[in-house]
Amino acid sequence: MKDIYILGIETSCDETSVSIVKNGCDEITTVVLSQMDTHSNYGGVVPEIASRMHVENITMVIEECLEKSSLTMDDIDAISVTYGPGLIGCLLIGVLAATTLSYIYNKPLIPVHHIAGHIYANNLVSEMKFPLIALVISGGHTELIYMSDHYSFKKIGGTLDDAVGECYDKVARVIGVPYPGGPMVDRLSYKGKDTYPLPLPLDDNTYNFSFSGIKSAVINLVHNELQRGNEIRKEDIACSFQNRVVEVLSKKTMKALKEYNVKNLIIAGGVSANSGIRDKFTSLCEANGINLTIPNIKYCTDNAAMIASAGYFAYKKKIISGYDLKACANTSLFE
């Protein structure tokens, strides 16, 4: 069978990324230009600056990717791009670049939902086996998804309020840890002890999550301690917080695997880089005979390899867009 090469483009937030992936699993080349250093001066991503930087960099990143791959546009079968969700100005740049390439070189244009991309980062590690449960944990999403086959997404639960990554970033800010908060809280948690009595978030029988309560608990804790003139022990807050998050995520995910009688689990999204989560799920899955896949750290956060991998499976399903493809800041993966 002929090999299929997909060129993927991802610009939904603060990474300008272009990648070429063969057959949805073999990464040929990926270029990621992170804007993190710029945004860290502001304590978070500034949308207007992010989109301007995408405009400045996108052509260069496409050229660099092609050059490093030693391929030309003639070798590319289709162009896939994140059309949403994300920052609208940022998405527009990627969609415009992809549409232009598709038009000029006469290649099919494949729209990829950002979360489908995160899920398919796992296909770059090992071939996804079905049925599977996907735990999606990112800055904007916290969802449990059932997949009976490629490109079939059935939501079985999700957050009722904040996403887990959003909560990590907020907790980081409250305890005075610089941006990017999530990875710093993760690191700090290993230096502390679980001494603070934070609540286990939404400890019920559903597959839903809620992180606003634990976020408020951390905010109140910090304010109370400071008002009393006490020093806050950042490491201990980080450790207590992370333990609660890991506990609720693992408890509900393991329950879903059992109830849906599924032996394959994949974890996706930026927060899957979290070492507490990786360690806990690795040992739980080993003990319960579950086949676990988590992306390599560099593919946990936003990148175009995952968009090219998802793009391959969308292409196979003939999910192809016209040149009028719209960027969507909010769009659901589910029907």
Of the candidate spans 20-28, 31-39, 133-141, 232-240, the one that interacts with Zn ion by CB under 5 A turns out to be 133-141
CB 257 within 8 A of CB 285: no
The yes or no reply on residue 169 touching Zn ion (CB under 5 A) is no
Residues 297-326 that bind ligand KG4 (CB under 6 A): 301-302
Contact pattern for ligand KG4 over residues 262 through 281, marking x by CB under 6 A: -------xxx-xx-------
Tell which one of 35, 82, 138, 253 touches Zn ion (CB under 5 A): 138
Task: Specify the residue for token string 């960099």.
Answer: 57
Residues 6-25 that bind ligand KG4 (CB under 6 A): 13
The yes or no reply on residue 186 touching ligand KG4 (CB under 6 A) is yes
Burial class, 204, CB count within 10 angstroms (exposed 0-12 / middle 13-18 / buried 19+): exposed
180 upstream amide cis, omega within 30 of 0: yes
Tell which one of 139, 201, 295, 311 touches ligand KG4 (CB under 6 A): 139
118 or 215: CB nearest Zn ion? 118
Which helix (H) or strand (E) segment holds residue 294: the answer is none
- Residue 109 has a CB neighbour count (10 Å cut-off) of 23
107 or 278: CB nearest ligand KG4? 278
- Residue 47 has a CB neighbour count (10 Å cut-off) of 16
Task: Specify the residue for token string 């597959």.
Answer: 207
Shortest Cβ 271–ligand KG4 spacing (Å)? 4
The yes or no reply on residue 302 touching Zn ion (CB under 5 A) is yes
CA atoms within 13 A on the CB side of 328: 14
Shortest Cβ 53–ligand KG4 spacing (Å)? 16
d(CA 174, CA 191): 18
Note the residues at the interface with ligand KG4 (CB under 6 A): 13, 118, 138-140, 165-166, 168-169, 180-183, 186, 269-271, 273-274, 301-302
